Structure 1
């Protein structure tokens, strides 16, 4: 018999995959709005909820912002400014990430990020991270994928806004040996009828040696729990201090109380899934004796077989009688 494929990956000191606890990531992204104190508070919220990691996004604004959008002015909490200046305003640099790295170590939680360009990969490689993440928007950027593969770290690939052929190509570029795939729908917030959670099973069937996770952008918690029930071994949800805050991702994010419920309920769901082997639990024996009026022929045969087996074991265990 061919052995079952091992859907396991290493994220820092954790092994993630089938049969292991779900790895829960709170995506801070840019919901810190460029304020380090906000990042600290979001890290605290993730720690208090029991998340395994927090995730940020790292960009080089001049590379990631189309040139024709640089000078477009927009209203922001910091006044009216050019779009390129806004991108810099919400982007953390070396000093902030050094502080984040130290704070996460102090709080005992991992952190990593989604680099959106090759210089950002090089920047993040200055830190000892458990993984890198490919945002759905970057799935078609072969140069970025090759740079991430060259780091040797586990790469988590989100598959929103992508066709099956695009996903297959990205997996070929990254190599399937050190990746984790996340089903995702890239609308913010995502409509429930567009989540298509059965794609988790589709990805499991197409990539039998790759762990499959879920990156959600919907409102509410139930569908993320359903993703875990369908077999997602990695879960990522955007987190926020307040869904009414400034920022494009805030409305599709989970606030602190919801994050606590989500992690709690993920642990309940994964414990409830069990191993798929039917058994009669000890706690069922009392109700069975009380409620089952007819024992049934199968139960009678099982009881006889068990009694006979016990008798044989007792016979084999007897000391021989001396003549």
Structure 2
């Protein structure tokens, strides 16, 4: 079974859907956001993703007054959240830029007003961040939009994922992403065998991988294990300020990821053992006893 996002089928037997997550790596700067969109388009990604919050609602109470050192000076965590949030006109600008570059675009809404905000802008899908898996009212609001839903599963038990799927009520519109929410993620926490395990537990639901590791190997291995979606954070420079920058791919890294995912798709084949065209000449040359 496949799920369609903006007409693109996603699922087994279809090309891997590559999401370049810009998230908050634009640091509140529309110019940087547009540069990152250009990076995603040049690399051959299928979509870009952002994060949308209503800071007063999405920021945990115990974090609001915590001081944070930022490029704009020391401020509270809540003030920082406001500083990096994009407004409606800015979202229209970056959304139009993504569309003109041939990319799907959507975001992770972290609260119910943000769902309405994104719906007003006509996003093609909604992404549920791993941090929101247990936020059942938010999930019900997302599911009620009728749009395709991509659910990341970091920091979550199978029971919590079951409850989230029930709350979303998005049968036929749901994609699951295996994720480990460590930034950056060490290889021994990847647990990539969860990708086929989730596919077996939720038949008919496409399963992909959202990576927070350094490098490409783990994401490529996920593709080889059957991930139908690969999502990675992207940045212009991993040394830029921001909590997600170090676990992000720079432009050349994203380009190599997309290139190698496409090669893996070709290499996986259909699983039917046959004599390949390129084997015919070696067979005539090397086989002493014909079949």
TM score, norm. by length of structure 2: 0.98
Name the larger-Rg structure. 1
Structure 2 Cα separation of the partners of residues 68 and 271 of structure 1: 49
Distance 1:184 1:71 in 2: 29
Question: 1:216-255 to 2 correspondence within 5 Å?
Answer: 216-255=211-250
State the Cα deviation string for residues 114-167 of structure 1 (Å, max 9, x = none): 000000000000122221000000000010110011100000000000011101
Tell me if structure 1 keeps the 8 A contact 2:53–2:114. yes
CA-atom RMSD in angstroms: 0.9
- Segments of 5+ residues of structure 1 without an aligned counterpart are 1-5, 300-323
Contact 1:187–1:217 (CA under 8 A) maintained in structure 2: yes
Are 1:12 and 1:129, in contact at CA under 8 Å, matched by a contact in 2? no
Counterpart residue number, 1:286:
281
Paired with 1:215 and 1:68, the residues of 2 have a C-alpha distance of 28
Matched, 1:46 2:40: yes
1:292-321 per-residue CA deviation (whole Å, 9 max, x = no partner) reads 1122xxx2xxxxxxxxxxxxxxxxxxxxxx
Could you say which residue in structure 2 is the equivalent of 1:103? 97
Q: Distance in 2 between matches of 1:170 and 1:68?
A: 25
**CA–CA distance in structure 1, aligned partners of residues 37 and 23 of structure 2:** 12
Matches within 5 A, 1:1-323: 6=1, 8-175=2-169, 176-295=171-290, 299=291
Count of aligned pairs: 290
Q: Distance in 2 between matches of 1:141 and 1:29?
A: 20
Q: Deviation string for 1:153-192 (max 9, x for gaps)? A: 0000000000111011111111233210000000001110
How many Å separate the matches in 1 of 2:241 and 2:278? Answer: 52
CA distance in 1 between counterparts of 2:236 and 2:162 reads 36
Q: 1:66 & 1:273 partners in 2: Cα distance?
A: 44
User: What is the CA–CA distance in structure 2 between the aligned matches of 1:181 and 1:23, rounded to whole Å?
Assistant: 13
Superposed CA offset, 1:72-94 (max 9, x none) = 32211011222211110011110
Distance 1:71 1:186 in 2: 24
- Aligned CA distance change for structure 1 residues 68 and 197 (closer, same or farther; 3 Å): closer
TM-score by length of 1: 0.88
* Deviation, structure 1 residue 71: 2.7
Unaligned 5+ segments in structure 2 are none
2:10·2:228 contact (CA, 8 Å) conserved in 1?
yes
Distance 2:63 2:277 in 1: 66
Query: 1:209 deviation in Å?
Result: 1.1
Q: Which moved more, 1:39-48 or 1:128-137?
A: 128-137
Deviations 1:3-36 (A, max 9, x none): xxx2x00111211111000000000000000000
Aligned residues of 2:20 and 2:233 also touching (Cα < 8 A) = yes
